[in-house]
Structure 1
Amino acid sequence: MKHSLKWGALGLCAYVVFLLIKLPAVQVLGNLSLPPNIKLQGVKGTIWNGQAMNATVQGLPVSNIQWTLEFWPLLMGKISANISAGNIRQADAIAFLGDVSFSSDRIQLTDVQAYLPTNLMISLVPLPFPVNAQGRFKVQVTELDYGQSCQALKGNGQWLNAKVAGVEGMIDLGNFTADMVCENNNIQLSVKEPNSFGLTANATIPANFKFSVSGRFKPATNLPAEVHQAAQFFGNQDAQGYYTIKF
C-alpha cells in the first residue's frame, strides 16, 4: 500500500511539473495584472518561453516580443525575464534586448539596449513648432531601478545619424550623446557639446512622462540659413550667441 502511495505521489508530482512547464502564456497573462501602461496582443507559447506579436508600452508600439522567464524570482513575487523585441535592422521600429524584472510597483532593467525611431520620440517632446526628423535613438542602460520614482540609473543615449527636414531636403546634424542618471527621483538626460547644434541641455522625465527641457544651443555656422532662421523661434540670442531652451 505504501509502495503504491509512493508511486502515486511521484506520478502526481510529475504531472504537476509537466503542467507548469507547458503552462500556456495566454492563460496566465489573461489573469495577470500587468502595469496599466503595458498591453499585449497575439500571445502564444508557454509562460516560460513565450511570444507576443504586438504590444503597447507607455503608448509606444512594439512588435515581436519574445521572453524567457526565470522561475525562482516568482517565489518572491517578482517577474524576471530576458526580453527581446522588434528588429534591430528595422530603422522605423522599436527594438529592445535585455533583462527586465518587475513587481506590482517596481521595475528593474539590467544590460538593456534599445533603438527608438526619431520621428516617434520627437512626437512626445513639446517643441514650439513641428519638426520632421530622421535617425534613431540608441539607449544603453546598465542599471535602472524605478518604483514610484527613479531610484537608480546608469546609462547613456545617442541620436544616431540625426537629420531634420529643410526646404531643399534633409539636413545632416551628425550624432548627439546624452548621459542618463536619476536626479530628484526623476530620469535626467544631459546633453553636452561638442555637437553641430552647440547644444547643452538637461531633459527631465518624471513618472508621467511629461518631458521638460532646459538648456541652450548655437547652431554651427556651416548649417543652412534656414536652421539659423528656425532657431529664432526660441527668442533672442545671448551675448555669446546662444539661444535658450526651456519648455
Structure 2
Amino acid sequence: MKLLRRLFLLLLLLVAIGGVIAWTLPAELALRWLKPDLGPLRLSGISGTVWKGQASSASAFATPLGALQWSVDKSPLLLRRVAARVNLSGGALALNGDVTRDADGSVLVQNMSFQLPAETAAPALDIPALKLHGTIDGRIDDARLANGWVSGARGSARWREAAVSGEAEARLGELLAEFSSQPDGSIAGTVKDDGSSNLEVAGQFVVNSGQFSATARLVARNGDPQVAEALRYIGEPQPDGSSLLKISGQLFKLF
C-alpha cells in the first residue's frame, strides 16, 4: 500500500509539474516545434508564453507585416482545437480577429478586421501605368482554409479615398466589395462604387481552386475628363466610351 501511495503521489507530482510547464511554456520554444506548420509565416523577437505572447516582427513571403500578438483559449484544446485571438499591427497590414485550427488541420477565421494600403493590390490589378492610392479595409465574417487554400469565405471590403496617379491622375471616391461562399465551393463577389465620385464601377469576381478572375465595367460619370483619361490605361476601351477591366491569376498557397 505504501508503494501504491508513493506511486500515486509521484503521479500527482508529475501531473502538477507538467501543468506548470505547459502553463508557462515559453512561446519561443513552442513555436520551434510548430515551425513546419506555420507555412510562409516567419516570426522573430518572440516573448511571453504559448498561451499569451507576441512577436516583435512577423513576415510572410519575405514581406514585413508588423508585430503580432496572440492569446490562446485553453478549453478548446480538450477537443483538439486551438483557438486564438490574434492582432497584427505596426506594419503595412493590420489584422484583428479569431483564428481556430481544427483537429483535421483546417483553419477557421472569424470576425477578422483588416486594413492595408491600396498599393499592395497593384500586382493583382496589373495596371503598370498607374499607382494606386488610398486604403483598403474590411471584415471577414468567416473563412475556411484547408490544405493551404481558401475553401470558403464571407465578408466585405472598402477602398477608401481611392485614387490613381502616374500616366493619369484621378480621384475615384470609394469602392465597395462584398463576397460569400457559393454552393459549388467557389467564392463570388461584387464590386461597385458608392456614387460619391465621377467613376461608375460595376463588377464581379470569382475565386475557385486557387484561381481568381474578375471583370468590371468602368464609366466616367458626368463626363469627368480626369477619370476618362485614367480609363485609357485601365482595361479595354468599349464603343460606348466605357472601359472593360478583366483580371485573372493564381493565389499563393498559404501553408
TM-score by length of 2: 0.80
Q: In the alignment, what sits opposite 1:37?
A: 40
Sort the Cα spacing of 1:63 and 1:150 in 2 relative to 1 into closer, same or farther, 3 A: closer
How many residue pairs match? The answer is 238
Q: Which has the higher strand share?
A: 2
Q: Which letter does structure 1 place at the counterpart of 2:159?
A: W
Tell me, in whole angstroms, the C-alpha distance in 2 between the residues paired with 1:38 and 1:76: 25
Structure 1 residue matching 2:71: 3-state secondary structure: strand
Return the offset for 1:18.
0.5
8 A Cα contact 2:174 2:194, kept in partner: no
Structure 2, unaligned runs of 5 or more: 248-255
Aligned identity (percent) is 23
Tell me, in whole angstroms, the C-alpha distance in 1 between the residues paired with 2:173 and 2:125: 22
Between 1 and 2, higher relative CO (CA 8 Å, sep ≥ 6) is seen in 2
Give yes or no for the alignment of 1:17 onto 2:27.
Answer: no
8 A Cα contact 2:130 2:166, kept in partner: no
Q: Runs of 4+ in structure 1 displaced over 6 angstroms?
A: none
Out of 63, 70, 74, the position equivalent to 2:73 is 70
Tell me, in whole angstroms, the C-alpha distance in 2 between the residues paired with 1:68 and 1:167: 47
Tell me, in whole angstroms, the C-alpha distance in 2 between the residues paired with 1:122 and 1:189: 19
Sort the Cα spacing of 1:201 and 1:186 in 2 relative to 1 into closer, same or farther, 3 A: same
8 A Cα contact 1:80 1:101, kept in partner: yes
Tell me, in whole angstroms, the C-alpha distance in 1 between the residues paired with 2:95 and 2:101: 16
Q: Which letter does structure 1 place at the counterpart of 2:230?
A: A
Q: In the alignment, what sits opposite 2:251?
A: none
Tell me, in whole angstroms, the C-alpha distance in 1 between the residues paired with 2:87 and 2:157: 19
Sort the Cα spacing of 1:130 and 1:53 in 2 relative to 1 into closer, same or farther, 3 A: farther
Tell me, in whole angstroms, the C-alpha distance in 1 between the residues paired with 2:209 and 2:84: 23
Tell me, in whole angstroms, the C-alpha distance in 1 between the residues paired with 2:246 and 2:121: 18
8 A Cα contact 1:150 1:185, kept in partner: no
Sort the Cα spacing of 1:214 and 1:167 in 2 relative to 1 into closer, same or farther, 3 A: closer
RMSD: 2.7
